[in-house]
Amino acid sequence: MNESAVFWSRMLTELTLSFHIIYATIGVGVPLMIMIAQWVGMKNNDEHYILLARRITRGFVITVAVGVVTGTAIGLQLSLLWPNFMRLAGQVIALPLFMETFAFFFEAIFLGIYLYTWDRFDNQTKHMLLLIPVAIGASMSAVFITVVNSFMNTPQGFELVNGELVNIQPLVAMFNPSMPTKVAHVLASAYMTSAFLLASIAAFRLLKGSNHIYYKKSLFLMMKLGLIFSIATAVIGDFSGKFLAEYQPEKLAAAEWHFETEEAASLILLGFMDQEENIKLAIRIPYALSILAHGNPMAEVIGLNEFPEDEIPPLYIHYLFNIMVFIGMFMTLVSILYVAGVWRGWQFIKKVWFRWLTVLGGPLSIIAIETGWWLAEVGRQPWILRGYMRTAQGATTSEHVDMMFILFCILYIVLGIGSIVVLSRMYRANPIEQEIQDRMAEVEGGVR
């Protein structure tokens, strides 16, 4: 085993995934938002929503491009950095990986068609229908990849006899215990993040002097969608807690800093841990952990002390867990206030400070996605395939991983800056006021 190769393989995988997940989340969630915007526009015969769909699409192509190339990178890095893992797991879980390429292929074809056929069909509905395969393809890609990840957490569908895999059942492997909650959580949080990102852009434009009704419509629509999906994400998150208690108790216990197995366990919120593992400045909510884990305030929750020292994940995942949960709650609150405020005519939602909170929501949601994935991945350590293969056993033995890490760092910096520059230039060159004017001129010209 090559210690440095293991370390750098982990670093490079974390780097690629952390970068890719931003674009992947947008890639999964935004097609649905485009579809809803276009549908609302057609139903209400409101040109603003149709323009919204059209403008989001233009930016979406840029993020898809980065998502595609970084997705290709992680797809290959699975074999390049974890050849031993892929050799073993590939025999059981190759099916969803394979299906993901089809889902993505399907999405790519229809996105190309959708993008290049605005106004080409006489019937607008026909054009909108092209988005259905795009949205389905995007979401199914996420489903299949998350299935692979869930298999790493709760592997099943095979038996290990004398180091040989026997009795392999690909479908049983796919429908493993952590699959339903994980897939649902990934999808809901992707929709939520996409909605809050788009809301954040609208709020930002409103703050920066534009007072156009287009942005108000966009903001309200995205906040409504964000609210729905943030509630969904929270509910599914609760199920995830119950799943973990049952199938991966060490992950839940580490995330909650729960050491002793006990009944009526209290939930530790926030806080810090010093060198001697003393917890300071934490808020303890009585019974809450038992409720989260089993839906029963008196239930017994297994603690970390039940597990061998070398099989428990790093304790810092507690911080990741807290950040994710707090951002989720914060965004639910902001969107409830906004949506209720519009209905009840509350004035404070139009104040500058509230607009800034909404702007903050975009980046915060991305941070929640990042911390959520770090929690999921670090929380599975020391395993790459829980109970069967340790991360260190799965890694490559190649000498040059550190060099590759540096190269990919540079690549992601270039892509990250490039995509932001191109996006901001694209929208600045063609502001909404200008585009609406052009559209009007076009329509009038047609009438004459």
Partner 1 sequence: MNLEVLGIIVLWIFLFGYVIVASIDFGAGFFNAYSLLTNKSHILSNIIQRYLSPVWEVTNVFLVFFFVGIVGFFPQTAFYYGTVLLVPVSIAIILLAVRGSYYAFESYGSRGHKGYAFAYGVSGLLIPSSLSVVLTISEGGFVDIIDDLPQLDFWALFTSPLTWSIVLLSIASVLYISAVFLTWYAWKAQDWEAHELMRKYALIWAGPLIFMAVAIIIQMQQHNPDRFRNMISIWPMFGISATLFLMTVWLIWKKRGLGLSVGLLILQFLFAFFAYGISHYPYLLYPHLTIYEGFTNQEMAISLVIAFIAGLCLLIPSLYLLFRLFLFNKEYVTGNQKDFHA
Angle between helices 352-378 and 3-43 (to 10 degrees): 140
Least Å distance, CB 163 to partner 1, is 13
Stretch near partner 1 under the rule CB under 8 A, chosen from 68-76, 221-229, 268-276, 327-335: 68-76
Least Å distance, CB 386 to partner 1, is 19
Stretch near partner 1 under the rule CB under 8 A, chosen from 189-197, 215-223, 300-308, 425-433: 425-433
- CB contact at 8 A, 97 and 148: yes
Among 95, 264, 315, 436, binds partner 1 (CB under 8 A): 95
Least Å distance, CB 21 to partner 1, is 16
Phi, psi of 268 (to 5 degrees): -95, 120
Question: How many residues touch partner 1 (CB under 8 A)?
Answer: 79
272 near partner 1 (CB under 8 A): no
Residue 133 or 226 having the CB closest to partner 1: 133
Least Å distance, CB 50 to partner 1, is 11
Quote the tokens at residue 109. 């074809």
Distances, alpha carbon 256 to alpha carbons 184, 252, 276, 301, 378, in Å? 22, 6, 17, 11, 14
Stretch near partner 1 under the rule CB under 8 A, chosen from 114-122, 178-186, 242-250, 333-341: 114-122
Nearest residue to 355 via CA among 228, 211, 187: 211
Nearest residue to 180 via CA among 208, 150, 156: 150
Give the x/- contact pattern for partner 1 in 136-165, rule: CB under 8 A: -----------------------------x
348 near partner 1 (CB under 8 A): no
Among 11, 40, 42, 108, binds partner 1 (CB under 8 A): 108
Q: Which of residues 207-246 bind partner 1 (CB under 8 A)?
A: none
Quote the tokens at residue 410. 């540079």
111 near partner 1 (CB under 8 A): yes
118 near partner 1 (CB under 8 A): yes
Among 422, 435, 436, 439, binds partner 1 (CB under 8 A): 422
109 near partner 1 (CB under 8 A): yes
- CB contact at 8 A, 127 and 150: no
69 near partner 1 (CB under 8 A): yes
Residue 66 or 221 having the CB closest to partner 1: 66
> 93: part of which helix (H) or strand (E)?
helix 83-115
100 near partner 1 (CB under 8 A): yes
Among 300, 426, 435, 436, binds partner 1 (CB under 8 A): 426
Residue 400 CB contacts under 8 Å (≥ 6 apart), including other chains: none
356 near partner 1 (CB under 8 A): no
Length of the chain: 448
Distance, CA of 65 to CA of 54 (rounded, Å): 17
- The reply to whether omega before 83 is within 30° of 0 (cis) is no
Stretch near partner 1 under the rule CB under 8 A, chosen from 25-33, 90-98, 219-227, 301-309: 90-98
Beta bridge partners of 284: 268
58 near partner 1 (CB under 8 A): yes
Distance, CA of 191 to CA of 365 (rounded, Å): 11
418 near partner 1 (CB under 8 A): yes
342 near partner 1 (CB under 8 A): no
- CB contact at 8 A, 408 and 15: yes
Distance, CA of 85 to CA of 83 (rounded, Å): 5
Least Å distance, CB 52 to partner 1, is 12
Residue 27 or 249 having the CB closest to partner 1: 27
Q: Which of residues 164-193 bind partner 1 (CB under 8 A)?
A: 165, 168-171
Angle between helices 317-344 and 213-247 (to 10 degrees): 140
Among 40, 42, 86, 273, binds partner 1 (CB under 8 A): 86
Residue 148 or 325 having the CB closest to partner 1: 148
343 near partner 1 (CB under 8 A): no
Distance, CA of 97 to CA of 277 (rounded, Å): 40
Distance, CA of 70 to CA of 390 (rounded, Å): 26
65 near partner 1 (CB under 8 A): yes
Residue 188 CB contacts under 8 Å (≥ 6 apart), including other chains: 229, 232, 233, 236
Helices and strands in the chain, H and E counts: 15, 8
Residue 57 or 290 having the CB closest to partner 1: 57
Nearest residue to 432 via CA among 114, 117, 168, 58: 58
Give the x/- contact pattern for partner 1 in 373-412, rule: CB under 8 A: -----------------------xxx-xx-xx--xx--x-
E-assigned strands of 177-239?
Answer: none
